Each structure stands twice: as structure tokens, then as C-alpha cells.
Structure 1
Amino acid sequence: MSAEEEAQPSPRATLSAGLKYRKSIGLKGVEYEGYLAKKGKGESAMGRRNWKDRWGVLRANGILEYYLTKEDSKPPQPKQPKGHVTLESVFPEDDNARHAREHCFVIHAKERDLYATGGSKEETNKWINAIEKVLDQIRPDASDDGINGEKGASPAGTPTVPSIDPIEEKIKRAFPKTIFMQNKSGKRTLKAASIDALLWHITLADAESVKVFLLTFRAYMEPTELLDRLKTLYFEERREGIEDDDKQIRIRRFKILNLLKTWLDTFYHDFKVETDRGMELLDKYERVVEETFDETGDKKSAEILHKLVHKKVERDNSADSGAPALMRQSSRRFNQVDKIKGAEAENKVPILPTQSDWTLVDIDPIEVARQLCLMDQELYTAIHPKELLNQAWSKKMKNERSPNVLRLIERFNMLSGFVTTEIVKRPQIGDRVRMISWFINIASRLLEFNNFNSAMAIIAGFSASPVYRLKKTWADVQKQKKLWQEYENVKKRLASEENFKALRENLHKADGACVPYLGVYLTDLTFIGDGNPDTVEEDGETLINFFKLGLESVVILEMQRFQNTPYEFRAVPKLQKLLRDVENMEENQAYKKSLEVEPREKKR
């Protein structure tokens, strides 16, 4: 019976078979375990491959077992698993529809490829992270032989010498000016390095360092240059100071495969086929794959990457590719609204006036908030990591380097200007109070929907001088105690005190779709940029400040956390057009209008 075949040992043989199995493959400790549904090899009568619910157990030596139940894996009478595979790599599966399951991932193993799901996004991510961690630990540097076979048990009576981090030792032999540092947890991490040293380090480092690299490399290198350098590194068998054996070379090449796969899978924005630059990069990517993996006979790796390229291109060329991916996902989910019962379905139906000639201010605040969520999220999810590096949104060529950040900033300013304009242009105090009430209700609904960006824009509109000075108007608003309390609650949740402490706490609690206040992240990135240089000088050599990029990546990853879950509201094009075409007075004009509707009180 092969390792991955389903097995049903007899009850009498269960104990001995389970223990014999453990001894035969030298099992190590459990790194992670949990629910794991896997796609079977066989097919049903309808020609589909069946999914089977299992209890997965991930071992520290890279063995993934799957049992019928959790109890089957536990002592004192552990059973033989239904199957096991030897891990080689793991990737998220972005085409869940063809598997008829959500949150899938694919495991590349020695025995076969295995499609699986943790059942939820959170559990799937836990599985992927745990597998990546185990794979990072299974490398020559962590083996008994160590680097160049120098690591091993000390002879009897020999004093134990504190071990040096093997990755640092290896990199510094080839690139002596590379700088490492000790982080808060005591781990040695890369601080500054040349591009060559950085690339070598990435082939040895953990998944977290690879993620930081892919998020930030555009700060000092074009994607085309990275492809060229990865190809060179793939074929480089020896480097002065680094004497890799054949096994270490194979692992380095496998790391390069993983990096290329993760780059295309997770940062596909670089390769978007609707842009000439993206098409050129994608063509070069395929050439590099052919000139590396194909030419060295690694057909399986080449096939994995070629399939991923074709899948991505096919998705880009699909009929609805004009809409952002997140919006298409939201649309597909909304098409299932008919299956939702009762109030939940009603909540997804747009709330619009019965008359056909309605204007923007006739709309229910809930529906205005919904459409703002959809519009803001479209802009927010389009922001690419490269737009956030080196404060690109405030530097030369900012429109080319940071277009989506600037669009969201423009949307914020437009909404806050609209708030100011709609209030000051109304000569009657009662109308101004009603407009303020309308906007407060919108802001409150926005916070219910986790749209902190537009909620903050409304508060900014209230804080503008032309509105803020309307003392009589605000006095009448304050008389409506329930409305005033709602306004105070909105301001409290968005307060800027202590570096937006309250807002940050609300962001961390946010569940589901969310549009954060962009200004918080831009402030953090500006603080990091102003306090840390882009490069570090070491004995006459200019090194890339990888420590700074790591700090920036923490902020960028926090931003990306909210780019994956779509709002499930139905778009109302007419209402969205009205929101895009809102009236905005110039600041001087708005202030003049404010003085007209509520003149300064004469001094006595």
C-alpha cells in the first residue's frame, strides 16, 4: 500500500500497526494539528473527486498525516493514519471554484499533489504558516551535519562553545560587510546587506523574511532585475566563502522556486496583463522559467509555474476582468442573496426612494454608507505595496509611483469638502441642522460597516473652519441629545489622541470587510522613513537597510489584512455617480458663504 492510500486496518491490528508505522518513518513531535479536508484520488459516480474530512497532524520532520478522527491520532492506542505525505512545498489555491470548496491550498509532496482546506480562512492560514515553518526548518543548516559538516556533538570533556547563527556565519563568509543584529526575542536577523548578499540570505531565511523581501524589493530594484538575478543565483553552484554541497544547491534552487511561485501568486499586481509593462514582465517570467527549471530537467517545477501563469492570465482575460478582483468576488457572493432568508436578505437590498427623480440628500444614510464602502474599498484594495515604499505618495513623480494612494486621498478630500459645502450653502439654520444630522447618521453607519476612512472624512468636514465656526447651528444640534450622543461616540472612536489609540484599537477589533483610515498608515510610514535611512554605510560599501524595510513591511502587511474581504452590498451606479460628482466649494468660497449664513457677532 502506498503512503497516501486510504487504509482500513482491522481493530485487532490497529495498535501494533500504528506503533510500527511510527517507528518505520521516524516520526518527530507534532508541530500542528487540526481539521483538514482533503480532495481524494478517486471519483464519484458523477465523475467528481470526493472530499474527505480528516484530522491532520503535521510533524516536525515534514510528514503530514491524516486520520479519520482526532482520537485516532492520540495515545495510548494511536491508530495507523489513513495516509501520509512527505512535504515539499505549500501554496494557497486561488481558484477555489473548481474544487467546490472554499479556502483551499495545495500541498506539493514527494508522493503527489494534495488539495486541502482548513474549512475556514483562518484555519487554512494556520495550516499554511505551520507547513512553511516546518519546511524552513528542514534544511542542511538545521541538520546534524550543519554547515560544511562542522556541526555535531562535542567530544566528551570538551567545553560547549555557544553556537553562532549558521545563516549569519554562512552569509558573512561570502559577504563580510553584511550587518546582522539581535531582535527583541534574541534572534539574529539581517539589518543591512548588498543586493547579492540579500538574495543569498533569502534562499536561507524563513518565510517571514521572504515575505518582507517580496513586499519591499521594489524600493531598490526593478522586477525585471530581480528575475535576472534569481536566474543567475539558480545556476550559481559555488560562491567564494560558501561551499555548498549538492543537497544544499538543490534546496537553494527549491527556495528560488518557492519565491517565484509566491511572487506570482501573492503579488500578481506586478504582472497584470492589461498593462504593457505587466505583459513584458510576465513574458520574461516565463522565459526565465524555461531557461532555468526546464533546462535543468526540473520539469515538475516548470509545470507548476507555467500552470500558475496561464491561470492568472486566463483570469485577467475573463469577461468580468474589468472590475477589481475583490469586487468580482463580492458580486459572486451577492448573487447568492436569494438563498439568504429573512432580515439578512432584506439588509442587502438597496434602500432607495420610491420617486424616480431623487437627489443625493434624499437617500437613506444607510444606503449612502453602503455605497461609500464599495467605492472606498475599490480604491483601497487597488493600493500596491510599492506605492507605500520610501514615501512615494509625497515625492517626485508621485502620480506615477503612487496613483491609488493619491486617488483614495482625493476621495477623502472630496467627501470632506462635500460635507462642508452642503452645510454652509443652506441659508436656513434648520436646514443646516438637518444636513449635519444626515452626515452624523452616515458616519455612524460607516463605523458599523468598518469604513473608518469615510467616517473620518465626514468628521474632517465638520472640523473645517467654515462649519466649525457655526456656533448657533451647533448649539441647535446639541439640543438633540440622542443625535449629539451619536456624534460624540463617532468622534470618540476616531479620536487622534495618543497617536489614534482609540482608532487603532477599533481597527484591531474589526471583523469582516473594512476600509481603515489611510492617514494612520501614511503617518506611520512617514515616521519610519524620517527616522531610518534607506542605506547604511559599512567600510566604504553602501548597503540596503533591510531593517527599515522590515519596519515598513509591518505597516504594509497590516494594510493588506483589510484588502481581502469584500463588502456584500449591491452597487447602485446612479448613487455612486452622484457621490463622485459632489459639489466642492473652494475653501475661501466656503468660508465666505459661512459668514453669509451666520455672520460674526458684533463685539459689544
Structure 2
Amino acid sequence: MNGTTPEIVKNGLIKEKPSVSFSTEIHVNGASLCFETNSIIMDSDGTILSGAAEDLLQKMLPTRDYCPSRQFTFTLLLNLRAFISPWDLLQKILQHCMFEQNSNVDNFRRESRVKMFENVLQFCQEWTQNIPYDFRDASMRDRLLELFGLCSVDSSTQRKCDELMYSLRSTLSKLERYENALRSLQQNVEDPPIQSELFVGLANICRDPSVVAQQLAHIELERLSMIGPDELVELMSSGDLEDLHQLSEKANKATNIQHYVAWFNQLTTLVATEILRHSRKKFRVKTIEYFIDVAKECINIGNFNSLMAIVAGLSLHPIARLKKTWARVEKSKLEILQHQLDPTGNFVSYRATLKAAIWRWEGAKQDTEKVIIPFFGLLIKDLFLIYSRCTVILPNGHLNFAMFTQFAEQLRNLIKWKNRPCPFKRNPPVLQYLLLAANYSDKNLLLLSYEYESPEISVEKEEYRRLKEDSPK
């Protein structure tokens, strides 16, 4: 991937343009793929469908008279990393800018240099704002400063460079503080479990389910906002998505995805814990109905990830098997959730509700109507299906830009949703409880379930016997 060493001649002009092409061969899935075709295929409307790697890269490089759209830039920055590292790509951009400045006498004029700078700046703004984690590596920041040093014209342009670097460092500093805070935030496990004959827990602290749903939106948006597009691509390239939690542990840069998945699991366990914390059936029923109401409020807000986590908690075996408890739950409260969670037609009901939330966002007149937190597990699987087609080289050796665009559009929507400040007032006591309340272990959840309602089938009886034997006397 090394370019030709530029030869400096008279007047400081470069005689030969340095190469910014890919290597002639790229190995994907064990196959050697050549990129000798120099063409871009478009449809009748001028929309790019596919293109040779070098030609697509050339269309992304800013010049004095040309700047790619931010959408086009994001699409290629996001997808080309499957074939070339961000560091190598930035190196090629630096080589390109060196040539542009020295290839033509006109490019030395102040007006031309300012135009070139503005186009380079817009390109770098798109990169640092929407895929900032590429610059966690100091070498990437150093190379970016080198690019600005090359293109900067005067104190005004230098100030713009400084502002971009300040914003980038602030973003990376926020990320570091967030990751350090989560590492120090250890989830407590209550063992042995403390049961109560009184009505206790979250439902007693906050009787209004809508307030809890709003606080869940705060947590969701904070954690979702910290997931970078590069982390998602890293996850997509890790392999099969059958087990999202285990897969996120395999991905080298998926730290914030791990945190988000861990939060989903934490909320799921919290729901089950809050129910089984009550030794009296009527309070277990009351707690179940309370969380169903919280889930409904999550739908109204547009917080589908918490909705799914709550329903997952209600569906855990220790909760789902409590037939006598569920017999007293108001059936009408379950109907809307059953409709949303129907997996028929690849979750067609949920997708319809999500689409309605998107329409509401687009026509919203109030901030509270502009919240969309998608069900992360299903979103990841949808993204994986698209991404798996992005990395397939077409028979003519082209990259599939149509799929690049589809993948990028999905992530641009996610960026728009996740970067939205939460419009609801914070409630510190409720937030603290949601984040720090001790949960029961899986073993204790099941043990309490069997103690409340005796096992009926032989498998459960045997499991209950083993649990009691393993429990401390």
C-alpha cells in the first residue's frame, strides 16, 4: 500500500503524483482479489452502485475544486475499513494533499489554498465527529495534525484546526472518563437474598411508572451514545452473531457494546429480583403489573431496548413458571406487550411500532417526542445481515457501494438517535436504584421461585433438590 515517493522538481512542484491506490491484490476470505478495473457503475439517476476500489477512493479525496458530500465520506470511511486500516487511509489522504498542493502553480495561490483547506477541513470534520474513536491512537492524532500543518494557510485556518482538535480531544476524554467510571461500577449480588413480606423495592420508591421509564431512557441514551460506529463494524467483522454477549467479548474494540449488553442483562435480572423479593403473592402480582406499566411507558417514549429487557425479565424461567402468581395478573395489561413481542414475520409488529416512532420524530414539535432507542439485539442482527454483503467482492472486482450506502444509512440514523440529549428531568434516587440495586444470582432466583410455588414436573423437582443441597445451611 506504499505510494510512489514524490520527486520534487523546480518551483517546488511534484513531478509525479504519489499513488493513493490500494495494493493490486487484497485477500478476503482466503481469496486473492485484483482491482485492475477502473470504473464506477451508476444507475440512471446517477446513484453509484459499485466501483473499483481505487476509483471510489479517488472520489472521496478533497481537492481545491471538489469536496465529497459528508454522506459519501461517511459511507466510505465506514466501509473501506474492511479492506484498508484507518491509519493507512489517513496516510494516503496526506499523500494526496501533498500532491495537490505541489502539482500546479495555481494551487500555491492563497485563494486556492484556502479552498483546498476548507474542503479538507469538512472531510476531517465528518471523520472526527462521526467516527471519532479512530483517533484514540496517538499516531492517528499526530497524522491528523500533520495534515492540518500541511493545509493550514493562516491564523484563521489554524484556529479552525485547533477547534476541531479541541472538540476531538473532548470527545475522547469523555469516553475515557465513561469507561473508567463503568469499570469501577460493580454490580452487587445479594447473596443470601433478603425477602420481604412488605411492598418494597423500586415500585415502592417510585409509584409512577412513567418516571421510571424516563430514567431508563437516561441510562439507555448515555450508554448507547458511547458506542462508536467503528466498534459496531468491529463487532460485525467478528463473526456469527448467535451469542451477542460472547461475541462482544471477542471483538477487540467493542468495549462499549459490552457495557450496553451488560446493562440489558442487568435490567432483565433486576425485574426478576424485584418480583421475587416479595414473599407474598399479592405483592409479586403488584410488582409484575408495575413493570408491565413501565414497559408500556417505554413504548410511549420510544425506548424499545428497555421494553425488551423488562419483558425478558418477566419471561425468565423463575418468573414465567409462577402459574398461581400470573393467574392473578390483569390480563389486559399483557395484551399490548404480547403484540409488540410477537416474533412473527421477523418482529413485524415491533418494526411497525418503531417506524411509527420514527415518523413521530420527524414531525415532532416537542423534545419528548424525539426519542428513539431501538432494540439493540435486533438492530445488531439487522446490521450484520447488511454488513455481510458489504464485504463480498462483486464478480467484476468491484466493491458493492449500494450495500455500503445501505449500511451507512442505518448507522447514520443510529448516530442521530443516540446523540439526542435525553429530554426528561433526572430523578437521582430512581437512577441510583436502577444502576446500583443489588440483584439476586440466577441460582437464588430459581430457588426462591420453587419455594414460592412448588415444582410440579420431575425435571423441576430434581433441579430444586440440587439447589437445596448446594445452598449453605
CA distance in 1, matches of 2:129, 2:307: 33
Is residue 497 of structure 1 aligned with residue 344 of structure 2? yes
Match of 1:551 in 2: 406
The answer on 1:225 being equivalent to 2:88 is: yes
CA–CA distance in structure 2, aligned partners of residues 363 and 592 of structure 1: 26
Flag structure 2 segments of 5+ consecutive residues without an equivalent.
1-34, 180-199, 239-243, 362-369, 459-473
Instruction: Give, in angstroms, the shift of residue 528 of structure 1.
Output: 2.1
TM-aligned CA distance change 1:305 to 1:284, over 3 Å = farther
Could you tell me which residue of structure 2 aligns to residue 376 of structure 1? 220
- SS of 2:418 mapped into structure 1: coil
Deviation at 1:564, TM superposition (A): 2.9
Cα 1:538–1:235 change in 2 (3 A) is: farther
Amino acid at match of 1:308: E
Aligned to 2:195: none
1:476 Cα offset (Å):
0.7
Report the alpha carbon displacement of residue 386 of structure 1 after superposing the two structures with TM. Answer: 0.8
CA offsets 1:407-448 (integer angstroms, 9 cap, x no match): 111111111122223334544321220110121121122222
Provide the residue aligned with 1:165 in structure 2.
none
- Contact 1:215/1:386, CA 8 A, preserved across alignment: yes
Cα offset, 1:209, TM superposition: 1.9
Q: Which runs of 5+ in 1 are unaligned?
A: 1-174, 325-357
1:476 aligns with 2:328: yes
More helix by share: 2
Pairwise CA RMSD of aligned residues? 3.8
SS at match of 1:409: helix
The change in CA–CA distance for 1:191 and 1:306 in structure 2 (over 3 A counts) is same
Kindly report which structure 2 residues correspond to 1:34-49, keeping only aligned pairs within 5 A, or say none: none
Alpha-carbon distance change, 548 to 497 in structure 1, aligned in 2, over 3 angstroms: same
Match of 1:209 among 66, 72, 96: 72
- Report 1 or 2 for greater relative contact order, CA contacts < 8 Å, sequence distance ≥ 6: 2
CA distance in 2, matches of 1:253, 1:190: 30
Structure-2 separation of matches of 1:535 and 1:597: 54
Contact 2:125 2:164 (C-alpha < 8 Å) held by counterparts: no
Q: Write out per-residue CA displacement over residues 481-536 of structure 1, whole angstroms, 9 at most, x where no aligned residue.
A: xxx32332233234433222232333233331332211221110122244x26242
TM-superposition CA deviations, 1:31-74 (whole Å, max 9, x none) = xxxxxxxxxxxxxxxxxxxxxxxxxxxxxxxxxxxxxxxxxxxx
State the alpha-carbon separation in 2 of the partners of residues 579 and 381 from structure 1.
19
TM-score normalised by L of structure 1? 0.54
- State whether residues 493 and 503 of structure 1, in contact with CA within 8 Å, keep that contact through their aligned partners in structure 2: yes
Number of residue pairs aligned between Structure 1 and Structure 2: 372
Q: Which amino acid is 1:428 matched to? A: R
Spell out, residue by residue over 1:560-595, the C-alpha distance to the aligned partner (whole angstroms, 9 max, x if none).
221232223343444333322344445454334323
SS of equivalent residue, structure 1 residue 525 = helix
Question: Under a length normalisation based on structure 2, what TM-score does the superposition of the two structures give?
Answer: 0.67
Structure with greater strand percent: 1
Question: Which amino acid in the other structure matches residue 386 of structure 2?
Answer: I
Aligned residue in 1 for 2:37: 177
- Aligned match for 1:487, one of 334, 338, 343: 334
Change (3 A) 1:418 1:317: closer
Secondary structure at 2:393 match in 1: strand
Aligned pair in 2 of structure 1 residues 550, 425: CA closer, same or farther (>3 Å)? same
Deviations 1:54-111 (A, max 9, x none): xxxxxxxxxxxxxxxxxxxxxxxxxxxxxxxxxxxxxxxxxxxxxxxxxxxxxxxxxx
- More displaced 10-residue stretch of structure 1: 280-289 or 387-396: 387-396
SS at the partner of 1:476? coil
Q: Report SS of the residue matched to 1:191.
A: strand
Look up the match of 1:191.
50
Q: Is the 8 A contact 2:303 2:374 kept in 1?
A: yes
Counterpart of 2:124? 260
Report percent identity of matched pairs. Answer: 25
| Distance (whole Å) between structure 1 residues aligned to residue 417 and residue 201 of structure 2 | 32
Contact 1:534–1:548 under 8 Å retained in 2 = no
